[in-house]
Chain A
């Protein structure tokens, strides 16, 4: 502790600092914009303007501790900063070089203050590829992105690679779709490239809607340029001249930053006609969604762009054959596209050295629920749940014990403690009855009722079902009614088997992915926590003490 409060070493001239102030949605909701304004003012008053630069950044990921700021070049990390802390930060740290202990992250175990963010367990165990610039660059200044080597991948592609070579490189990298299904991205691009048509489209699916998931939002707010660069490369690879970024309207800050990034990219010749003086032309339209979860499903998403009601349709034809307005269309998730530039810059071999045999690269999770360190986490594929939850997430707070982890949002399943050592990748999670999903990771503690959780997720999917097909529309309603009965003491003998039978019927009978996965939270909680269901139905008792009618 003592050494931390000591004067920082000065090398001759007074040190110059860059203060990175998080302006993600989480920190902004705790007034980080006011903190930044106050800091600017204080710096002017103290006459530090020539050696202190204040920079807005996107999300650092450690939302639990927001508002956060990092003071470079030393990487000093201040957490839970308030406006009244600003004068002290300016005077003590920026002017006198003294670290302010009370604003440092305190290790929950040792209670030791950690000054450098690289040393905080939350960051130390992460490997940030997709989010490499998030929290580092100013997401509203393309120059900052260019200074980190941004748009080098696009330059390389346009100056020396054929579309086939780009696709081959992505195939070699082993990249799989980060929207949840995990389809090989290179293969998907190839299908679309092979479809002959005068007009093709690419779509960036940024309609993130799982409860508790905010990975895509964090990336759009923190590094919209990477997404645009990857998007442009995807368009080049498949031969598309027009792209749509479908982003939910509930993300106003992400939309604002995407618009700024698009404008700047256009000014720099990265988007538009004859990109970087090549023969390749590509333009992008940002389309705001209107609040329907189902529009994250690709056929519903395309219907929505076309101005129709957002309802999925049967496949075939697949979007790669007949998509938006009947033309071949390639749809990728935000994280998939954000992976493209780094893969092409550092090479397929490097990328495929990260992860597992079948799941390459990194996975981004929004870690939420009963967890000490909520936030955005990026780890290599195959990292054990235990590492994510305990080493990075800091475990379950309040002295309570871990009960279950829910991956994949309302389409996923609840995995008990037996699965803590499960390597997180596409195959393992599917085998365990859950899914990788797009990256929601909700932690539940012993005070969570698994029946009530299943009821919550079914009420979500029922509400968000588009209503087109019977199994999803009426089936999830029935499951919800049965779960409501169980949580209010009106459960009947045989209800568990009925839920399983109905859940399986919905899975095989539904039209789209929403219905085909909607029963998962109920089915996995029955599989792993059947005794809780029994207690509710047979003994009229809620073991977690959550269901009030049974208390």
Chain B
């Protein structure tokens, strides 16, 4: 690795060349408040909370946009830095509704964590009010722009991560807000409801409609398709209530599609979900064991000649599973009539 070493708050930190000062600090476990940065997104420098002092650099550069260089000396929490940060947070809070529906009272919330870190003890600014209608048009999440701090994460996620560009920052100055084309409801845009923006929103502006917090999480593989996205199922009272992508996993790096993020709990908990194989006996389907079901299928298949059977496989299976089924079809059943549901 091409590495460089810099000093942050007196500690020597070695990072890959090209890392930002923020990444270097995070790697060293040094907390720098930020509301607009995300490791999946390009540096932005909008919230200005990650300002730091860097020797030989004028002013207060933002850690998220400044490349770390060899020998750089960074101080992350000087009085001047924190004073400017407190005014920035006070400005945001003066413009933020008091009753935050996302409030968990702990540092699961980015905004909460930043406020707690800076220890705000006064609100010197004028109270500002916005009253923008909530957009509930999407089946899975709501957008309440009264809580938006215009960090642009949703817009940048839709562009840089998902490549859908369903939303863009609209208007200017104080009235800037994310918007679908023509200011229309989200559901009328080309939004694919993946919810990546909802995950990254640092405030309560984008919230899933299902807001319960799970008692525990279980790591598993998303059952929806063959990609194999790694997810955490949130469970409460024996029921799946939430899904979150595993950011540390190389398959999906936390990203999920609409089905994985918003569809799993629905079908796992559905009363009509099949949990056992069914066989038809006396004109009616009834539950049975896998042994009985497989034996019955094998017996029936043995009665057909070559080419008399067709096999349809599923996109829910992995590539390996699909390979095996076509191998089975061609070599065991002796048929080339093999197809896949993704082609239908």
Chain A positions near chain B (C-beta within 8 angstroms): 292, 294, 309, 311, 313-314, 316, 462-471, 473-478, 481-482, 485, 498, 501-502, 505, 508-511
Contacts and interface: CB of A to CB of B under 8 A. Distances in A.
A44 to B, nearest CB: 52
Given A478-B91, A482-B126, A509-B84, A463 B172 contact: yes
A509 B84 CA distance: 7
25 contacts: A292-B172, A314-B43, A462-B173, A462-B174, A464-B172, A466-B176, A467-B172, A467-B173, A467-B175, A468-B44, A468-B152, A470-B46, A470-B47, A470-B88, A471-B88, A473-B176, A474-B94, A477-B174, A482-B126, A485-B126, A498-B125, A505-B84, A508-B60, A509-B48, A511-B62
Interface string B109-136: 0000000000000001110100000000
B171 A467 contact: yes
B325 interface: no
Contacts of A475: 87, 91
B45 interface: yes
A509 B174 contact: no
Given A463-B173, A470-B88, A473-B174, A478 B126 contact: yes
Contacts of A501: 87, 124
Nearest to A474: B91
Contacts, number: 109
A462 B172 CA distance: 8
Nearest to A459: B173
B59 to A, nearest CB: 6
A475 B175 CA distance: 13
Contact of A474 (B66, B80, B95): B95
B62 A467 contact: no
B48 A469 contact: yes
Contacts of A478: 91, 94, 125-126, 128
Contacts of B65: 313-314
A294 B176 CA distance: 14
Given A477-B128, A481-B128, A505-B87, A469 B47 contact: yes
Nearest to A465: B173
Contacts of A485: 126
Given A468-B152, A509-B87, A477 B46 contact: no
B168 interface: yes
B74 to A, nearest CB: 15
Contacts of B125: 478, 498, 502
Given A314-B43, A467-B175, A477-B128, 9 more contacts: A294-B172, A469-B46, A470-B47, A474-B95, A478-B94, A478-B126, A505-B84, A508-B84, A511-B46
B42 to A, nearest CB: 9
A474 B67 CA distance: 27
Contacts of B222: none
A468 B125 CA distance: 20
B150 interface: yes
B198 interface: no
A271 to B, nearest CB: 35
A467 B92 CA distance: 13
B186 interface: no
The interface size bin for chain B is: 35 or more
B187 interface: no
Contact of A509 (B51, B149, B171, B176): B51
B77 interface: no
B225 to A, nearest CB: 34
What are the 8 A-B residue pairs with the smallest beta carbon separation, nearest first?
Answer: A467-B176, A314-B65, A505-B87, A314-B45, A474-B91, A477-B174, A465-B173, A481-B126
Nearest to A492: B126
A516 B237 CA distance: 53
A470 B149 contact: yes
Contact of A471 (B48, B94, B171): B48
Nearest to B155: A309
Interface string B71-97: 000000000100110011001101100
B82 to A, nearest CB: 12
Contacts of B168: 309
Contacts of A469: 45-48
Contacts of B173: 462-467, 473, 476-477
B169 interface: yes
Contacts of A502: 87, 125
Contacts of A465: 172-174
B11 to A, nearest CB: 24
A505 B88 contact: yes
Contacts of A464: 172-173
A474 B96 CA distance: 11
B44 to A, nearest CB: 8
Nearest to A507: B59
Contacts of A511: 45-46, 48, 62
A470 B202 CA distance: 14
A167 B313 CA distance: 70
Interface string B122-165: 00111010000000000000000000011010000000000000
